[in-house]
Structure 1
Amino acid sequence: MAGTHRSRSARSAPPSRGRRILLWTAGALAVLVLASTGALGWLYYQLNGNIQAAEIEDRLGDDRPEDLSPDAMTILVAGSDTREGTDGSYGQAEGMRSDTMMVVHVAANREWATVVSIPRDSWVSIPACDLGDGTESEPHQGKINESFALGGMNGDVGGAAACTIRTLEQNTGLRIDNFVSLDFLGFKDMVDALGGVDVCLDEPIQDDKAHVDLAAGCQTLDGEEALGFVRVRYSVGDGSDIGRIERQQDFMRSLAEKAQSKLTDPAALYDFLDAVTSSLTTDPELAGLRPLYDLAEDLQGIPEENLTFLTVPNYPRQLDVPEDTANVVWEYPSAGLLFDALARDERMTEDDLAAAAEESPALRPSEVQVQVLNGTGIAGQAAEVAERLGDAGFTVVGTGNAAGEAARTVVGYPEGLAEQAELLASRLLPAATTEPDATGPPGVLTLTVGADFAGVRGG
């Protein structure tokens, strides 16, 4: 594959402790180094004060998933791709974007952790979000990273994180406890503070859009080059976002290794930690060196073989919507099994996912037929929902009115279609319940839109 790391064939090997998640490794290093040198005074407070806190609790709404494992930690980690301060050198973009999005689940017993990468081109249901100006966005289908842009319309990282968390919770059923955001320019500063990071490329990479012009072979990338390298997409390999996720993960491991190699160079290490902490925004619970160190210490205690890196099972949306060649959708039931397991604080490995996929063949929305009945008493609701279902690739066979008004939204299914009903409820209407219903046409789900539909839409 063009432009890949030569070490990629070893990707399945368990990552070393030095390759763990950069953000918490950096937090741990900060405290450990300062403690060992006795420089706990103004240096500690300088670094600690760099970390920004953003309150998000009051922006998440009341319709959140139940917290099935309160002692576990489920954390959103996002790269904030704001162009502020770049003078247009990386292109123009309103507000914020997020090219990197991960959900990190640390088990309640602290004996295992799972990092789930979320492709930014995931086509999902985006709920109504606070736009920061007293108004809300309309619920709709779109790329998941649009949620970060909507919430961050006014440059507010907290708003961006809140909208992304709402979107993740609604589409996964996972309760997100915390968030960590690393901004666009901070990544570049981190690499430069370490004197660059080494990569080995099988083939040259040239991409004007990402400002990348790299020769084949082993070389040291400075901050500018590294930023382009982790952003490049279309001119490398198959041009997919999945390929970019793999390159980003590889590079972050290399960066963490380089940071550890600087333990004996206090000046370089301090510059690195200053760049990291200056680029971090977190929820109040994680906003400080101490809580980041505590989390890093928990991660350090996890056995190598119990740290799992996964990407949400997905397939090209083009299989459901032929004209969409750019996006992916999550593959069910595999994705649902993954999210359900994490919600219950149960470990799932790549082998477990593969076995589940073999046991339960993938379901496609285009294979699911549904009739939509309006039980809200509000004209036009069935048509609105039917349009959203069509956008998601489902086959709508008809619309109409329910026999009476319904308090809740229900997916009724005939015998043998329970998994199809779960797919519909999970993919588009996460607040909907499913129940057996033999009154509808054979082979067709019956979606009755209830009075709670406003809540489903994010109101």
Structure 2
Amino acid sequence: MTDAKSRPAEGAATARRSRLARGAGATAAVLVLATAGVGAWFYQRLDHNITTFSADGIATSRPPAAPTVSGGGRAVNVLLLGSDTREDGNSSLGGGDEGVGHSDTAILLHVYADHKHAVGVSIPRDTLVTIPACRLPDGRWTTTKTNQMFNSAFTIGEYKQGNPACTQNTVEAMTGLRVDHTIVVDFKGFAAMTDAVHGVDVCVPNDVDSFGIHLTKGRQTLQGQQALDYVRARHGFGDGSDIGRMKRQQAFLSSLIRKVQGEGFNPTTIFPLADAATKSLTVDPELGSAMKLADFAQSLQDIKLGDIKFVTVPWRYQGERVALVQPDANTLWNLLRQDRTLDGQTTAGQTGAPGSPSSSTSSTASPSTGSPSAATSAPAALDVPITVHNAAKSPGLAGKVGSTLRAKGYTDITVGPNTTPRRTTLIEYGPGRQTAAEQLAQLYPGAELQPEASADGLVLTLGQDRAPADTADPTDGTGATPGSTALPSSIPTGISENTRPADSDLCSDLSFG
């Protein structure tokens, strides 16, 4: 379904960057709606509030969806974005000029297969990443760009409302996780939600009197503009970093969920909250009606505050930007792909190597490291002839990948000659081989698919996007790369030092620097 309010693709000149950072409202919207227990009958009244973005910009080659586990559930990944668009009445809250929408707040919410536990992963806006091909307003697609700031994905195409599909593609390429849903909320939606619950308890780590923001140190209740300032502002708090701001966002969201859960089903609170949230949501087509959003939210309402954790992806400064700390970041993605908690357990409290009898889920490997799992491919696909070419200018790459594929169950592998260098990986398929090609592409997120009438089976041409990971030690000494099914024996410090339980004290660990 495409909602009547679906936003057209429209270009705009790049706006002057705001001196403050952007909102965290998307996370509040989905987590509050998920835990509020609002009846579906009420959501039907909200159908016209919701805006959808087009699915045309979502990549065709994507990581596989999480498998269904015993009991019928499966893990779900939701990308939550806060938009700073000044359109539709947002300029009075955010200041600055109208123009291209940005998203400086991004949280990947992983809901475990039991739908009773969740972890929200904050991704710093300045993180240097590879942005894959993204769709422009005229239908053309960009080329892959490396060493880009994460938040720039949202600006590609200069859509006034932003480009959530491009950010979704970037997250999938970075993590090897399939994003099931993407939800964006704007300034006025966030402010309205805090008004609807009559304010949220927060802890201000220090007196703030800068850039028009005036807050006093200590515990207090904020709503509307002040609440928005609290989660948006960098300057005046701690060292003024994006990292410190994310800590406050995580604490704020925890407090908001605590308040809604504590009040229970109170129509005078829940109805205005749901109305405020849905009026400012932009969602993927799969959530493009109030009923669909209600069904999704109700599937999450058993998640208790104590079973939610927030974690900032392991990071370090690289000049003025942020780089991911490896292998810790890859360990985090690996844990989530295997539906394991941050300490390596299943949600049932079991430990043990993934794939062992104690594991509650099937592991799915991201092949960006050359370590695909045969479990992701149907038996028939394992017998299709595959010719592997090296177009990455990396000596021995085709042979190494061929050996890895054989070890994982593929039976007919031919290592072909090196070919003309190319940046991205290509999978060509002969007549009747499209399904097999799609299954192989699940192992290589971001690979291009292309029919080739003269091909007998599949032709895998490895681009430069595969060279660094595919030629590395498959486990980096820890079993922590995205494609590995092994887990480290202890929690990496990059994860443990950046984790915040949702039921933490309001004033705990609020500033960086």
Class of the TM-score when normalised by the shorter of the 2 chains: 0.5 to 0.7
Q: Give per-residue Cα distances to partners, 1:253-272, cap 9 Å, x unaligned.
A: 22334445666864454332
TM-score, normalized by length of structure 1? 0.65
Aligned residues of 1:190 and 1:276 also touching (Cα < 8 A): yes
Task: Give the conservation status (yes or no) of the 8 Å contact 1:181–1:282.
Answer: yes
Task: Trace 1:249-398 onto structure 2 (pairs within 5 A).
Answer: 249-260=250-261, 266-302=267-303, 306-317=307-318, 324-325=319-320, 327-349=321-343, 372-373=393-394, 375-377=418-420
String of CA shifts for 1:407-431, please: whole Å, max 9, x gaps: 32353899994456999x97xxx9x
Alpha-carbon displacement from aligned partner over 1:393-444 (angstroms, at most 9, x marks no partner)? xxxxxxxxxxxx9932353899994456999x97xxx9xxxxxxxxxxxxxx
- What stretches of structure 1 of length at least 5 have no aligned partner? 1-19, 318-323, 353-370, 383-404, 431-459
Query: Are residue 95 (structure 1) and residue 151 (structure 2) matched?
Result: no
One-letter amino acid of the counterpart of residue 343, structure 2: T
Q: Does structure 2 retain, via aligned residues, the 8 Å contact 1:312–1:330?
A: yes
Q: How many percent of aligned residue pairs carry the same amino acid?
A: 35
SS of aligned partner of 2:46 = helix
Partner residue in 2 for 1:170? 173
Output the aligned Cα RMSD. 3.8
Cα distance, 1:348 vs structure 2 = 2.6
2:199 alignment partner in structure 1: 196
Cα 1:250–1:414 shift into 2, 3 Å: closer
Partner of 1:53 in structure 2? 52
CA distance, structure 2, for counterparts of residue 190 and residue 413 of structure 1? 43
- Pair 1:26-2:33 in alignment: yes
**Partner SS, residue 129 of structure 1:** coil
Return the alpha-carbon distance in structure 2 between the equivalents of residues 125 and 414 of structure 1: 16
2:467 counterpart of 1:411: yes
Q: Which amino acid aligns with 1:231?
A: R
Whether 1:246 aligns to 2:237 is no
Aligned to 1:144: 150
Counterpart of 2:184 in 1: which secondary structure?
A: strand
Q: Which amino acid aligns with 2:150?
A: I
Is 2:60 aligned against 1:65? no
Question: Distance between the aligned counterparts of 1:344 and 1:278, measured in 2?
Answer: 35
Decide whether the 8 Å contact of 1:27 with 1:292 is kept in 2: no
The aligned amino acid for 1:150 is I
Counting only pairs closer than 5 Å after superposition, residues 91-240 of structure 1 correspond to structure 2 as 91-92=96-97, 94-140=99-145, 141-150=147-156, 153-156=158-161, 160-208=163-211, 211-240=212-241
1:28 to partner: Cα distance: 5.5
Q: Residues 253 and 416 (structure 1 numbering): CA distance in 2 closer, same or farther, change over 3 Å?
A: closer
Specify the code of the residue in structure 1 equivalent to 2:57. R
- Range moving further from structure 2, 92-101 or 117-126: 92-101
Contact 1:30 1:289 in 2 (8 A): no
Of 132-141 and 336-345, more deviation after overlay is shown by 132-141
Shift in alpha-carbon separation, 1:283–1:217, aligned structure 2, 3 A:
same
Kindly provide the CA deviation profile for residues 46-86 of structure 1, in whole angstroms up to 9, marking residues without a partner as x: 32331223342x42233322335253211111111212234
1: CA distance between counterparts of 2:83 and 2:36? 23
Residues 118-174 of structure 1 show CA distances to partners (whole Å, capped at 9, x for unaligned) of 1111110111211223333342221111111225x22345xx221011101111111
* Equivalent AA in structure 2 for residue 314 of structure 1: W
Q: Matched residues in 1 for 2:102 and 2:475: separation?
A: 34
Residue 44 of structure 1: how far off its partner (Å): 4.4
Give the Cα–Cα distance (whole angstroms) in 2 for the partners of residues 251 and 79 of structure 1: 14
Contact 1:178 1:282 in 2 (8 A): yes
Q: Is the 8 A contact 2:35 2:300 kept in 1?
A: no
- Which stretch shifts more, 269-278 or 333-342? 269-278
Counterpart in the other structure of 1:16: none
Which consecutive residues of structure 2, in runs of 5 or more, have no partner in the other structure?
A: 1-26, 69-73, 347-391, 396-417, 425-458, 484-513
Local SS of the residue matching 1:342: helix
Q: Deviations over 1:189-231 (max 9, x none)?
A: 22223333333324211231xx311122333323111111111
SS at match of 1:98: coil
Measure, in 2, the Cα distance between the counterparts of 1:248 and 1:413: 33
SS, match of residue 79 in structure 2: strand
Contact 1:205 1:236 in 2 (8 A): yes
Q: 1:413 to 1:272 in 2, by over 3 A?
A: closer
Is contact 1:24–1:293 with CA below 8 Å preserved after alignment? no
| Secondary structure class of the residue paired with 1:124 | strand
Instruction: Decide which structure has greater helix share.
Output: 1
Gap change, CA 1:252 and 1:413, over 3 Å in 2: closer
Query: C-alpha displacement at 1:246, in angstroms?
Result: 1.1
CA–CA separation in structure 2 for the residues paired with 1:223 and 1:123: 32
Contact 1:148 1:161 in 2 (8 A): yes
Aligned-partner residue type, residue 125 of structure 2: R
What is the CA–CA distance in structure 1 between the aligned matches of 2:461 and 2:472, rounded to whole Å? 26
Tell me which residue corresponds to 2:84.
Answer: 81
**For the Cα contact (< 8 Å) 1:22–1:253, is it kept in 2?**
no
> 2:29 & 2:469 partners in 1: Cα distance?
46
Aligned residues: 346
Compared with structure 1, are the counterparts of its residues 289 and 86 closer, same or farther at alpha carbon in structure 2 (3 Å cutoff)?
Answer: closer
User: Residues 28, 235 of structure 1: CA spacing in aligned structure 2 closer, same or farther, 3 A cutoff?
Assistant: closer
- The 1:156–1:260 alpha-carbon spacing in structure 2 relative to 1, beyond 3 Å, is same
Secondary structure of 1:300's counterpart equals coil
Measure the CA separation in 2 of the matches of 1:194 and 1:302: 20
Q: Does the 8 Å CA contact 2:37/2:265 hold for their aligned counterparts?
A: no
Structure 2: distance between partners of 1:218 and 1:413: 47
Describe the shift of the 1:144–1:300 C-alpha distance in structure 2 as closer, same or farther (beyond 3 A).
Answer: same
- 1:187, 1:227 within 8 Å by CA — same for their partners in 2? yes
- In 1, distance between residues paired with 2:299 and 2:47? 20
Q: TM-score, normalised by structure 2?
A: 0.59
Letter in 2 for 1:81: D
